[in-house]
Homo-oligomer: A and B are copies of this chain.
Amino acid sequence: MKDLNGRLDLCSINTATLGYQLPIGQTIEAVARAGFGSIAPWRRELEGESVKIVSRRIRDAGLGVSGYCRSSYITAESTMQFSNAIEDNRRAIDEAVELGARCFVMVVGGLPKQSKDLAAARQQVHDGMAQLLEYASEQKMPLAIEPLHPMYAADRACINTLQQALDLCDALDPSQGCSVGVAVDLYHVWWDPDLEAQIKRAGRDKRLLGFHLCDWLVPTNDMLLDRGMMGDGVIDIRSIRHWTEAAGYAGSMEVEIFSRDNWWQRPVAETLAICAERLQTVC
């Protein structure tokens, strides 16, 4: 396993970690100044900005783009809403291309309103992904399905395990064209008894497109916005990182921490410094 000590160039900051406190231009400067090699911006930060200019700023700062966050939800109440979601995601894929992102991160959506039919929602995801994959392949933008923790099955993503995400990849891309894969986020998958085997499978099939780090706090006070800094929780980060690298992952170690009451309240430079320190000492 790579030693991250002195190798922040291998590491990335997902901008959600900084609580969107600064305009994207300043965020880019701060991430570069802290020594990181890459950044993963959110789409909401690019609203009203020229994607071309943001892309140039990122390159000028010497940063790569480990991923572009993220899809709008595919699951939908109506055909119209579904079509709009596909259309919107096509535009996001264009942006990801403009940014030179390594992948476009897909959070697929949970149950449509009024629905209790998880199987139907999952079928919608398959169908929508098939349409998007065709488009993304033409643009040569890999789609990274991010399985979300099962506690988000209803309201954020009905793809909830790495196995399920990889089964979906196989259904969409049986020839392993490297156009669709997974983003492995520790927060979502750390509990999974099948994790090691599925990471190995993902590596073998060239599906490992992203690796996101944070920690699981005990207790967790908010189901969405109380993620921990690496080292402050119970995830055996080093083992999972080892499995992932052994499976062939060579991309960035991307920090992504949603933490409304702690890290988002701190100055950006402080959070970045602590991310850097933890990546080099506990990950």
Contact = CB atoms under 8 A, between A and B. Distances in A.
A257 B191 CA distance: 24
A151 B154 contact: no
A102 interface: no
Interface stretch (A7-15, A37-45, A114-122): A114-122
Give me the 9 closest cross-chain CB pairs, A-B, nearest first. A153-B191, A116-B236, A150-B191, A151-B151, A164-B193, A154-B234, A154-B218, A150-B150, A116-B234
Copies assembled:
2
A131 to B, nearest CB: 21
A154 B216 contact: yes
Contact of A234 (B111, B149, B161, B190): B111
Contact of A150 (B122, B151, B234): B151
Nearest to A224: B219
Nearest to A222: B223
13 contacts: A111-B218, A116-B234, A116-B236, A118-B236, A122-B193, A149-B151, A150-B150, A150-B191, A151-B223, A153-B190, A154-B218, A155-B219, A223-B223
Contact of A160 (B116, B122, B164, B191): B191
Contacts of A191: 118, 150, 153-154, 158, 160
Nearest to A111: B234
Given A155-B218, A218-B155, A220-B223, A192 B150 contact: yes
Looking at chain A's contact residues, the main secondary structure is loop
Interface string A153-176: 111001011001000000000000
Interface of A: 111, 115-118, 122, 149-151, 153-155, 158, 160-161, 164, 190-193, 216, 218-220, 223, 233-236
Contacts of A235: 116
Contacts of A115: 234
Contacts of A216: 154
Contact of A193 (B161, B192, B193): B161
Given A149-B150, A193-B160, A117 B219 contact: no
A114 to B, nearest CB: 9
Contacts of A161: 193
